[in-house]
Amino acid sequence: MTLFDARHLSWPRTRALAEAGAIALLPVGSTEAHGPHLPLSVDVLIAEEVCRRVALRLSRDVVVFPPVAYALTDFAAPFAGTVTLNADVARQMLTGILSGIVGGGFQTVAVVNHHLEPAHFRVVHDAGKAVQAAHPARRIIVADHRRAPTGPKLGHEFMHGGSHAGRYETSLMLACAPALVDEAARLALPSLEIDLPGAIKQGATNFLECGGPDAYFGAPADATAEEGERLFDLLAEATASAIESPAP
Ligand SMILES: [Zn+2]
């Protein structure tokens, strides 16, 4: 149905949309290093594009709120431009934003998070649960595409922890914002097959310690816009079905 950008709405129009059953979407990303070939805004841009594609699939109107561009992002902290918040600040910020959206009258609010650092995703889930507990009559959805059945469809690299600025994210960027991908830098990058979850289990606390001196993992040179389109369809479909499925 129709997508409305909350930044362009008046408050009476917002209230009317909420009362008519529109779904609120909150895109969540980060400001963090994504290799030498991608901008700091990758996670925000991916989250916003997924929101646009979710709106096309839903039977109700959608209001997309301004994206959350800052997050807990300790793994990329050693790289210039990365801005990390501690977990308490990030949790309070997200809880406050979701409470504000619910306060506007929206019955269903979905968080569309594409910053995948595990500690950050925990914070997003915690904030969703806190706001859900405070508003039991509403529905707060935190879509989590890492899980089956969606995760395994997103490719080997995604499932094996190389999904930071590699083939997966670079393909998504080629599909939604190709002008922001430095093609010369991308094509020159050697594949860096590193088991991020394994490195984290062994105590690594940032991308340097994981063996990623340029803040990318996986194979950016293998990325294609066609693959990005397919991935966006999978992500949007998973998020839309999480929203459409009956409350648990
Ligand atoms: Zn990312």
How far does Cα 225 stand from its chain's mean position?
Answer: 18
**Low-confidence spans in the chain with pLDDT less than 50:** none
pLDDT at 48: 98
45 CA to centre of ligand 1 in angstroms: 10
163 CA to centre of ligand 1 in angstroms: 8
30 CA to centre of ligand 1 in angstroms: 8
134 CA to centre of ligand 1 in angstroms: 30
pLDDT tens track for 164-203: 999 999 999 999 999 999 999 999 999 998 888 888 889 9
Number of other residues whose CB lies within 10 A of the CB of residue 184:
7
Number of residues in the chain = 248
Is residue 38 a contact partner of residue 120, using CB atoms and an 8 Å limit? no
Task: Enter the tokens of residue 51.
Answer: 């929101």
Is residue 166 a contact partner of residue 217, using CB atoms and an 8 Å limit? yes
pLDDT tens track for 65-98: 999 999 999 999 999 999 999 999 999 999 999 9
146 CA to centre of ligand 1 in angstroms: 13
Four-point Cα dihedral 145, 141, 46, 43, nearest 10: -90
The secondary structure of the chain in percent helix, strand, coil, rounded to multiples of 5, reads 50, 10, 40
Task: Enter the tokens of residue 150.
Answer: 């969606």
245 CA to centre of ligand 1 in angstroms: 27
50 CA to centre of ligand 1 in angstroms: 14
Domains and CATH numbers, the chain: 3-244 (3.40.50.10310)
- Percent of the chain predicted with pLDDT > 90: 84
Q: Which of 132, 133, 131, 163 is nearest to 145 (CA)?
A: 163
166 CA to centre of ligand 1 in angstroms: 9
pLDDT at 151: 84
226 CA to centre of ligand 1 in angstroms: 19
pLDDT at 248: 63
